[in-house]
Amino acid sequence: MHPIKEILRTMEYGPSPESNAEVVQWLEQHGRRFGHFIGGRFVAPEDRTLIPVLNPATEEELATITSGSAEDVDQAVQAARTAFGAWSRLSGHERSLYLYAIARHIQKRSRFLAVLETMDNGKPIRETRDLDIPLAARHFYHHAGWAAVMDDEFPGYSPVGVCGQVIPWNFPLLMLAWKIAPALAAGNTVVLKPADLTPLTAVAFAEICHEVGLPAGVVNIVQGDGGTGAALCGHEGVDKVAFTGSTRVGRMIREQIAGSGKKLSLELGGKSPFIVFEDADLDAAVEGVVDAIWFNQGEVCCAGSRLLIQEGIAGHFYQRLRQRLESLHVGDPLDKSTDVGAIVSAAQLRRIADLVSKGVAEGGELWQKAGPLPEKGNFMAPGFFTEVDQSSTVCQEEIFGPIAAAATFRTPDEAVLLANNTRYGLAASVWSENINVALDAAARVKAGVVWVNCTNLLDAGAGFGGYRESGFGREGAREGLYEYLCADWMKASAAAGAEHALVLATGPAGQASPPQAGVDRTMKHYINGKQARPDGGHSYSVLGPQGQVIGQAGIGNRKDIRNAVEAAARAGGWSAMAAPLRAQILYYLGENLAARADDFAQALVKSAGGSPDQAAAEVQAAVRRIFYYAAQTDKFDGAVHATQSRHVTLAMNEAFGVMGMICPQESPLLSLVSLVLPAVAMGNRVVVVPSARHPLIAGDFYQVLDTSDVPAGVVNLVTGDGDTLARTLADHAEVAAIWYVGSAEGSAMVERASAGNLKASWVNGGRTRDWLDPRQGQGRDYLRHAVQVKNIWIPYGV
């Protein structure tokens, strides 16, 4: 056969290596040794441990880096703190010019950065050249724009301060851009720790910062291992921590900084479903699998590692997938024809191999690309499992390698059940030519990003982040900017003074003033739309402002919280209800509270004291607040993000589901309404612990709920000690988010306990709020904390 015909038949390419001469020259110029970038200059302390940096494809040492100590981290944080004042006071336009210059310089050195990234990480040059580096530049361009319009688009917000950022090894320069660009745009300064396996593009980026004249201390880079990262996250001079990495380490960081007042965003692991319906374009879906799990050697947090194929097409799909698998080229990452490069390290290769061995031992059938692998380097043949049980290791654990696990489903409902059968919730991919089927699945899958008939599309203009144990917070787009901003009213709030601890005595209050003659008042819990006696059989005496007994309230325990959470979980119809209908019910709630305004004012005076005018003002503020959130129910909506590719990228505000709330002691009616209403307006169901000092107000409020068509289970009230019940709510796996307003110690406890399932938490850190002030007691900040954003990518246009 003629050579040209043979080439057309096999579609094999000859070697096409990319030159690395410029990168080698750069390494030699630096003596193949790199230190930290602190205060605008490179420093290399002599007494620090050196960490070797290896080329994953050749196992050759590229360079060494300095392992950062606590002293190095402290110097970097101090440099960032010193630079913060002047940088944050620059106009948005001035900051945008620096970000624009960084973007241009990344573009002008794109080939150098691509080769350096490939040598450092092991990913194919096609990916670094065509995806990683252009997208890194895109993030700085995009956020240069945000810097320019910051004052108009984010009124009432200001930069957080010094940001400590820790990034992983799978997308070294891109993750750096994801973190640094929004932080600088918002007016913050940064201390970033790259992964010790892949630190070299961060060094090159530091040189770019120096080249464009970025003020000293605005960006600081400290090299090192996990100990360096822990020192950075825990440093008392850091105001915000942003971490991308494993769920295990993310949980450790949540526990480490609990109670510190630091803002936190976590982008963690995933086990993303890749759903193929029987009417899908199978050729396109097969190529989607290539991009979903074999892109970047499967070292992608949002990799489509769980293939869910409709039963009727599974056999045919697997056959096509095996044929496509054999055509992949595994080899030298610097070769432009390489599809799958090297695993980042020998240790990671061993971990992947161990998980694959477990999958085989548990009965899975493994299909891998045949043929020899390169003799040197950390290479693994790409493949996928079939015949696996959903509880098997390869279906539940994040492999972080080029191995998928495939299973079948019969109906769309079963597909969604299987897709959500994971503790993660980072991304999903849905393939169907029926738009109704695709969007129905996209709406029901619990994931922060859903791609329809596409996969692994990323853009600075679309938010990225997960649900559940995939973390909280978003990166990119408007929602990502909020992670680096703080509401001015929160910064201005003062620390609460010491308050006499309330002890809920289970015995008779014999020393208190006896109640006035009349009908005894005993408040029960309110669970699933009904009054419920406390499980433990204990109540405590509620005292009025003069120390007189005005009634009793139940002391809730773990079982009461469990019952309330179960009731809230069953009330999922509220989340599915159309927003205008929810608004109508909330308007009715406000109407009914207004009708009983005098009764509530008298109850407030009796319970909390104060003047009748003060009590009336609190009731009227509560009515206004209900009407405000009723109005916002169908107006606090999402957006269509402007992304580069031809897609409609929908940013949808979705309810968390079940939320826990602990109310403060003060303003017992207004604070209760201020916390509950934004959550239920957005479709959440809540388990609320009302003021322990004034619980009878909540008892009056649930009578209003009963007459206002609020469905059973949407609002559940459990009285008792706030901190004790807060711990139970924070521990509960079914609770997806928790708000706590109380002491600094209680705030720390809630943040620490919420690390169990990495629920989103919003605490006050012991700082006071003026609930009567609409700037502090209501607003879009409450609504923003009541939702998680799902970005859905839908093909649009040609």
Of 208, 236, 223, 210, the closest CA to residue 102 belongs to 208
- Cβ neighbours, 10 Å, residue 738: 25
Q: Which two tokens stand for residue 222?
A: 């400290």
Q: How many residues does the chain have?
A: 798
Q: What CA–CA distance (Å, rounded) separates 62 from 166?
A: 22
Q: What CA–CA distance (Å, rounded) separates 618 from 601?
A: 8
Q: What CA–CA distance (Å, rounded) separates 641 from 649?
A: 5
Alpha carbon separation from 91 to 149, 186, 323, 702 (Å, rounded): 10, 11, 56, 49
- Return the C-alpha torsion angle 507, 509, 515, 520, nearest 10: -10
Longest Cα–Cα distance of the chain, Å, equals: 108
Which letter does DSSP use for residue 130 in this model? I
7: Cβ contacts below 8 Å, ≥ 6 apart: none
What are residue 306's DSSP bridge partners? 273, 405
Is 267 among the residues known to form the active site? Answer: yes
Beta strands in 102-148 (DSSP E): none
**Candidate list 163, 209, 233, 301, residue with the active-site label:** 301
For residues 366 and 381, is the Cβ–Cβ distance under 8 A?
no
Is 311 among the residues known to form the active site? Answer: no
The vertex-432 CA angle with 430 and 438, nearest 5°, equals 60
Q: Which two tokens stand for residue 156?
A: 């009432």
Q: What CA–CA distance (Å, rounded) separates 121 from 296?
A: 10
Of 206, 262, 259, the closest CA to residue 233 belongs to 262
Give the 3-state secondary structure of residue 302: coil
Q: What CA–CA distance (Å, rounded) separates 123 from 130?
A: 12
Q: What CA–CA distance (Å, rounded) separates 703 from 526?
A: 10
Backbone angles phi and psi of 699, in degrees to 5: -65, -40
Give the 3-state secondary structure of residue 392: coil
Of 414, 464, 417, the closest CA to residue 445 belongs to 417
CA atoms within 13 A on the CB side of 623: 17
Q: What CA–CA distance (Å, rounded) separates 136 from 117?
A: 12
Burial of 15 (0-12, 13-18, 19+ CB in 10 A): exposed
Q: What CA–CA distance (Å, rounded) separates 719 from 276?
A: 48
Burial of 501 (0-12, 13-18, 19+ CB in 10 A): exposed
DSSP per-residue string spanning 14-29: ---BPP-HHHHHHHHH
**Candidate list 18, 117, 127, 267, residue with the active-site label:** 267
Alpha carbon separation from 553 to 516, 526, 697 (Å, rounded): 17, 11, 11
DSSP per-residue string spanning 22-66: HHHHHHHHTTTEE-EEETTEEE--TTSPEEEEE-TTT--EEEEEE
- Return the C-alpha torsion angle 468, 473, 474, 478, nearest 10: 140
- Cβ neighbours, 10 Å, residue 79: 23
Alpha carbon separation from 256 to 487, 495, 732, 744 (Å, rounded): 24, 22, 20, 15
Alpha carbon separation from 16 to 290, 316, 334, 369, 566 (Å, rounded): 21, 34, 8, 22, 60
Backbone angles phi and psi of 45, in degrees to 5: -55, 140
Chain centroid, CA 478 distance in Å? 14
- Active site amino acids: 267, 301
